[in-house]
Amino acid sequence: MTLSLTRVAETALLACGDEPLCAYIYDLDALAKHAAALAASLPDNCELFYAVKANSDLPILQTLAPHVRGFEVASGGELDWIRRHFPDAPVIFGGPGKLDSELAAALESGVELLHVESLLELRRLAWLARSMNKQADVLLRINLALDGVPATTLTMGGRATPFGIDAGRLPECLTWLARHPEIRLHGFHFHLMSHQLDAGAHLALLRQYFRQTRQWQEQFGLTINRLNVGGGIGINYREPGRQFDWNAFSNGLAVLVESENMQDWRIRFEPGRYLTAACGYYAMQVLDIKQCFGRYFAVGRGGTHHFRTPYAQGHSHPFFIVPREHWPYPFPRPGVEQAEITVVGQLCTPKDVLAVNAPVERLRVGDLLVFSYAGAYAWHISHHDFLRHPHPRHIYLDPQEPVHAANQ
């Protein structure tokens, strides 16, 4: 086990009490190192923002803040949250269906750039900006046909979706913008796919963004120098040993920026999942193990109402087992050895499944199952109050403190 996993395992054991354990554990030290390494590996004209929706817990944001240039928010609620806790951090605001009140709040609070999703949104923004006597700085979010770039399992573009402006409508938007100086166009925003696991394919996608942007700049005579290439770098939940090759990507990016002559552009990345997924763990203590129609099931404390990621993505989520020796009952402890086990939670629905037919050497009731890659789109996308079970504990391992201090 790595140092980080050992620390997480020790923390989970220490956190066990009278009631079976159910907890999120976040390794903030690992998060800080990961974010610092990503930021340092980018070419000078590229910068890293964090897409807050992946995990907006305050300790996560506080850990990231020194390493990212700013935060990408996708709602008035996120904007409020970031402004309250990081009044000076650069903020960019995207997402479909923004309210007038949200656009006004963005203008009021000095959001650096708004990512506009439609011509109507442009019109409403201009109308608000005029009434507030302000200028609005924007990127246009564009959906364009993908030219030979292989699609991932989650696409927001390259086909009909509600996200961004169809590239075919761009001339209409630009004609309108030319008559509305209260809006300043700085460039374009693309976020066409998530779950990207292939560094080469991601570079090919970026090359298309670069070329398309330059072509529009020339065709329409635009004075622009900013490009947001979105997030979308994936986590390989199915084969955790084979992750996105960030080194190959960042090296390739430096070459691409030069070969495509993009050195004078400010290029922005706004990943969510790839920044925070790996720092989070969801730990559940095994309440029961049973055999049914020839299959083994482990029922854990908690479930998809806390950790919806496996169900949302349709995968069997990777986990490791932390043995716990304590057994309070006067009867034998159920367990399995060299078996395949399906892990479910406490909900009364067959959809409450976290892992399917996962091979285990030994698992006993009372042991801990610790799911890795649970730091992004995990707690924050789950339906917490279904069945009114208590919420899990949230434990943040602070780099400065020994493990026992986290167990409060």
Ligand X SMILES: *Cc1c(COP(=O)(O)O)cnc(C)c1O
Q: Does 270 bind ligand X (CB under 6 A)?
A: yes
Q: Which two tokens stand for residue 268?
A: 């922005």
Helices within 109-188 (DSSP H only): 119-132, 170-178
Supply the minimum distance, in Å, between the C-beta of residue 163 and ligand X: 7
Identity of the residue, 54 or 125, whose beta carbon is nearer to ligand X in the bound complex:
54
Identity of the residue, 137 or 270, whose beta carbon is nearer to ligand X in the bound complex:
270
Size of the residue set binding ligand X (CB under 6 A):
17
Supply the minimum distance, in Å, between the C-beta of residue 121 and ligand X: 14
Rule CB under 6 A: choose which of 187, 252, 272, 345 binds ligand X: 272
List 22, 46, 292, 348, catalytic entry: 348
φ and ψ at residue 272, rounded to 5 degrees: -115, -70
Supply the minimum distance, in Å, between the C-beta of residue 316 and ligand X: 20
Q: Does 118 bind ligand X (CB under 6 A)?
A: no
Say whether 348 is catalytic.
yes
Query: How many Cα atoms occupy the beta-carbon half-sphere of 368 within 13 Å?
Result: 28
Rule CB under 6 A: choose which of 56, 194, 213, 304 binds ligand X: 194
Residue in the block written with tokens 């990081």: 86
Could you tell me which stretch among 6-14, 34-42, 49-57, 326-334 binds ligand X (CB under 6 A)?
49-57
Rule CB under 6 A: choose which of 21, 31, 51, 278 binds ligand X: 51
Q: Which two tokens stand for residue 172?
A: 């209409």
Q: Rounded to an integer, what distance in angstroms lies between the CA atom of residue 158 and that of residue 208? A: 12
Dihedral of CA atoms 384, 386, 390, 393 in degrees, nearest 10, equals -30
Identity of the residue, 47 or 352, whose beta carbon is nearer to ligand X in the bound complex:
47
Rule CB under 6 A: choose which of 186, 273, 306, 308 binds ligand X: 273
Supply the minimum distance, in Å, between the C-beta of residue 205 and ligand X: 13
Q: Which two tokens stand for residue 256?
A: 């691409």
Helices within 65-137 (DSSP H only): 76-85, 100-108, 119-132
Identity of the residue, 78 or 270, whose beta carbon is nearer to ligand X in the bound complex:
270
Identity of the residue, 72 or 102, whose beta carbon is nearer to ligand X in the bound complex:
72
Site for ligand X in 91-110 (CB under 6 A): 94
Helices within 28-168 (DSSP H only): 28-41, 58-64, 76-85, 100-108, 119-132
- Tell me, residue by residue from 207 to 246, as one string, x for binding to ligand X by CB under 6 A and - for no binding: -----------------------xxxx-------------
C-alpha 309: how far from chain center: 11
290-296 long-range Cβ contacts below 8 angstroms, 24+ apart: 290/334, 295/340, 295/342, 295/357, 296/336, 296/339, 296/340, 296/341, 296/342
Supply the minimum distance, in Å, between the C-beta of residue 98 and ligand X: 12
List CB contacts of 77: < 8 A, sequence separation 6 or more: none
Identity of the residue, 298 or 374, whose beta carbon is nearer to ligand X in the bound complex:
374
Supply the minimum distance, in Å, between the C-beta of residue 339 and ligand X: 35
Q: Rounded to an integer, what distance in angstroms lies between the CA atom of residue 345 and that of residue 303? A: 4
Q: Does 268 bind ligand X (CB under 6 A)?
A: no
Residues of this chain that interact with ligand X (CB under 6 A) are 51, 53-54, 72, 74, 94, 191, 194, 230-233, 270-274
- Hey, which residues are catalytic here? 348
